[in-house]
Structure 1
Amino acid sequence: MNIKTSTAGIIGSGSWATAIAKMLLENVGQINWFFRKTETIESFKELGYNPRYLQSVEFETERINFYNDVDEIVHDSDIIVLAVPSAFLPEILSGLKSDLSTKYFLSGIKGIVTHENLLVVEYLNKYFNVPYENVGVIAGPSHAEEVALEKLSYLTVANIDEPKAARFARLIESSYIFTSTSDDIWGTEYTSVMKNIIAIGAGIAHGLRYGDNFQAVLVSNAIREMKRFVDAVHPITRDIKDSAYLGDLLVTVYSQFSRNRLLGTLIGRGYSVRNAFLDMNMVAEGYYASKSIHEINQNYNVDMPVCEMVHSILYENQQAKKAMIRLTEKLS
């Protein structure tokens, strides 16, 4: 994989995909970019920015090759960056004729493919024969809105082959994006999934008017919960305090930009789950992740009171106030 000569294509058109496009264009001359709607492409070309997300980020559109056919962008790209909600990934990739097994992937998806509870790397390997060493995972605290503003951010790129992780990392690093590497693709993906669930829990606590003192206890318990789970599912030596794990959890729990925290806050204030989604008009990955992690944990029986509290509210119709009171009795 030669970063300087490889052609990168982005599948996704939301805020995170837009932020990734900005990062890529710091390092390569041109990118390929997939949009589902041709009218969005035409508006983008006319305006010079994504008409739906991060409109403050202006692009030189002559440096972008726009696509609305997934097969074409996969065929024309050596490295494919995935930045779509995980629940939509099977639909987007269904019917592909192109061979993905020779492609390189960089996943910006912080979610789980829910129909079989597969991580993105597992999904690509199982259904498209993509070798694990050909998939990089973007981890760490990384809100798209701050990348758009060129706020200093620290990202981790994981790959089972660390030299390849370093080559992937060079695609997105810049004066405002510092990168590090990891060989822990399972741990970084699972914690990226779990932190969204925990952010919903923190949002519920906020909506119920629990204070900062309680939030600190919830988060300190949650990071231990995450460690117990990833150590059970993929037991290797890792430092859960690294920014790829703990940092990503903290920013998702506390940030004003966190969709998952917002979903939880609305539920804590009395919204039904359905009405909270309607009010947000955005995808919160933690909703889907909650069901998947709950089902995966049936095989491991890890003690995860925060995640189980969120699942009971989202999927078992438990009243938020009562579920939170039960949780408070389990925390330390």
Structure 2
Amino acid sequence: MGQSGYKVGMIGSGSWATAIMKMLDDNVVEKEVFWWIRKQEDLDYVRQFGHNPSYLSAVQLRISGENLFVDVKRVIEKSDIIILNTPSAYLKIALEGLTAQDFKDKIVVSAIKGIIPDENLIVGEYLAKVYEIPLENIVVVGGPCHAEEVSAEKLSYLTLAAKDSVKAQLLADVLQTRYIKTIISSDVYGVEYGAVLKNIYAMAGGICHGLGFGDNFLAVLVSNAIREMERCVSAIDPGEERDINDSVYLGDLLVTAYSQFSRNRTFGHMIGKGYTVQSAQLEMNMVAEGYYASACIQNIIREYGLDMPICNMVYQVLYNKQSASIEVNKLVDKLT
């Protein structure tokens, strides 16, 4: 690490990236932070006013203007720890032109709760395949943490998952604050796939709510969803011991399925109300990761021969343009 402590680079400038920038601001560990912001006009605004004009605009950001860049390569070359925090669908574009050499010997952190659509890979697998980053150098951020509550300093718990516990602890030390508690895990695959799946289940909950189903039914849906999640992650990574009731799995599912801040639930609710996928996407200002994940997870279901009726319902509605009402009513008889 550098003479000024850790050198941390943030790639992305959405709401979750902005919330983590606040964590880095409020954390007391000595470090220097660099930030890649895609739009020059947003960068200029942050430099002049210390606020992100597009997301969580009330959050005061204390980063030096000299450490803001629209060139992603500059941020990565200056950083020892790189936090990837773009929507999964845009990660390839954000990293365009970079090579494995740019990431050599760096700790790479995925704060992205999604699958790379064209590749059908979770972020960790994509980084290993395309940029030759060893699994031991990858850390995954998970847990029930909506950016809006973090920005309001509501007590939240983050899980840092890595095969190398030392690197997981390093990230925990860098991110914890008086309102952020951290948990260490070795379940890299379970945490990543769990984060992908909970977005699909939140979308399912939104669809059902939009159709007029109440909280009683949503509780049944979520209790079935956590069992469905366990079947999936256990098939993908059977050697890892995990408790599916931990906050990084069940807790994240609950908050994404129920919270007013859940973009995936909101997207699903719009679909249940009769919006087309295109019209819902146009109306929302943020990406709903569950949309892309719904298509990608179908390959996992086929590969492992999994019984995942909730995921299948969402896929039929979003991609095969089936009636939400008909598909949910089919699902009703499969829930217990």
The answer to whether the 8 Å contact 1:137/1:159 transfers is yes
The change in CA–CA distance for 1:295 and 1:82 in structure 2 (over 3 A counts) is same
State the SS of the aligned residue for 1:9. Answer: strand
The change in CA–CA distance for 1:258 and 1:4 in structure 2 (over 3 A counts) is farther
Distance in 1 (alpha carbons) for counterparts of 2:127 and 2:176: 25
The answer to whether the 8 Å contact 2:164/2:186 transfers is yes
For residues 236-251 of structure 1, what are the structure 2 equivalents within 5 Å? 236-251=240-255
Distance in 2 (alpha carbons) for counterparts of 1:65 and 1:74: 12
What's the CA shift for 1:38? 1.3
1:219 and 2:226 equivalent? Answer: no
What's the CA shift for 1:152? 0.1
For residues 168-187 of structure 1, what are the structure 2 equivalents within 5 Å? 168-187=171-190
Distance in 2 (alpha carbons) for counterparts of 1:294 and 1:130: 26
State the SS of the aligned residue for 2:245. Answer: coil
Distance in 1 (alpha carbons) for counterparts of 2:48 and 2:108: 30
Q: Residue 93 of structure 1 aligns with which residue?
A: 95
Residue number among 280, 288, 294 corresponding to 1:284 in the alignment: 288
The change in CA–CA distance for 1:3 and 1:193 in structure 2 (over 3 A counts) is farther
Q: For residues 188-237 of structure 1, what are the alpha-carbon distances to aligned partners after superposition, in whole Å with 9 as ceiling and x for unaligned?
A: 00000000000000000000010111000000000000000000011122
Residue number among 62, 74, 77 corresponding to 2:76 in the alignment: 74
Q: Residue 31 of structure 1 aligns with which residue?
A: 33
Q: Residue 234 of structure 2 aligns with which residue?
A: 231
The answer to whether the 8 Å contact 1:107/1:137 transfers is yes
Residue number among 245, 249, 257 corresponding to 1:253 in the alignment: 257
Distance in 2 (alpha carbons) for counterparts of 1:106 and 1:221: 31
Instruction: List, as ranges, runs of 4+ consecutive aligned residues in structure 1 with deviation greater than 4 Å.
Output: 1-4
The answer to whether the 8 Å contact 1:140/1:156 transfers is yes
TM-score normalized with structure 2 length: 0.96
Q: Residue 10 of structure 1 aligns with which residue?
A: 10
Distance in 2 (alpha carbons) for counterparts of 1:145 and 1:298: 36
Which sections of structure 2, spanning at least 5 residues, go unmatched?
none
Distance in 2 (alpha carbons) for counterparts of 1:92 and 1:57: 24
1:116 and 2:110 equivalent? Answer: no
| % identity of equivalent residues | 52
The answer to whether the 8 Å contact 2:157/2:181 transfers is yes
Q: Which letter does structure 1 place at the counterpart of 2:48?
A: E
Residue number among 263, 287, 290 corresponding to 2:267 in the alignment: 263
State the SS of the aligned residue for 2:295. Answer: helix
What's the CA shift for 1:63? 7.2
Residue number among 30, 54, 57 corresponding to 2:56 in the alignment: 54
1:206 and 2:203 equivalent? Answer: no
What's the CA shift for 1:37? 1.4
The answer to whether the 8 Å contact 1:29/1:63 transfers is no
The answer to whether the 8 Å contact 1:30/1:63 transfers is no
What's the CA shift for 1:6? 2.0
What's the CA shift for 1:101? 2.5
Distance in 1 (alpha carbons) for counterparts of 2:26 and 2:196: 28
Residue number among 164, 168, 174 corresponding to 1:161 in the alignment: 164
The change in CA–CA distance for 1:316 and 1:26 in structure 2 (over 3 A counts) is same
The answer to whether the 8 Å contact 1:200/1:310 transfers is yes
1:316 and 2:320 equivalent? Answer: yes
What's the CA shift for 1:9? 0.5
Q: For residues 138-183 of structure 1, what are the alpha-carbon distances to aligned partners after superposition, in whole Å with 9 as ceiling and x for unaligned?
A: 1100100000000000110000122221111111101000001000
Q: For residues 272-327 of structure 1, what are the alpha-carbon distances to aligned partners after superposition, in whole Å with 9 as ceiling and x for unaligned?
A: 11111111132100000000001122110111010100000011111000000000
Distance in 2 (alpha carbons) for counterparts of 1:262 and 1:294: 22
Which moved further from structure 2: 186-195 or 231-240?
231-240
State the SS of the aligned residue for 1:282. Answer: coil
The answer to whether the 8 Å contact 2:197/2:293 transfers is yes
Which moved further from structure 2: 215-224 or 61-70?
61-70
The answer to whether the 8 Å contact 2:11/2:84 transfers is yes
Which moved further from structure 2: 196-205 or 95-104?
95-104
State the SS of the aligned residue for 2:38. Answer: coil
The answer to whether the 8 Å contact 1:260/1:284 transfers is yes
The change in CA–CA distance for 1:64 and 1:268 in structure 2 (over 3 A counts) is farther
The answer to whether the 8 Å contact 2:162/2:168 transfers is yes
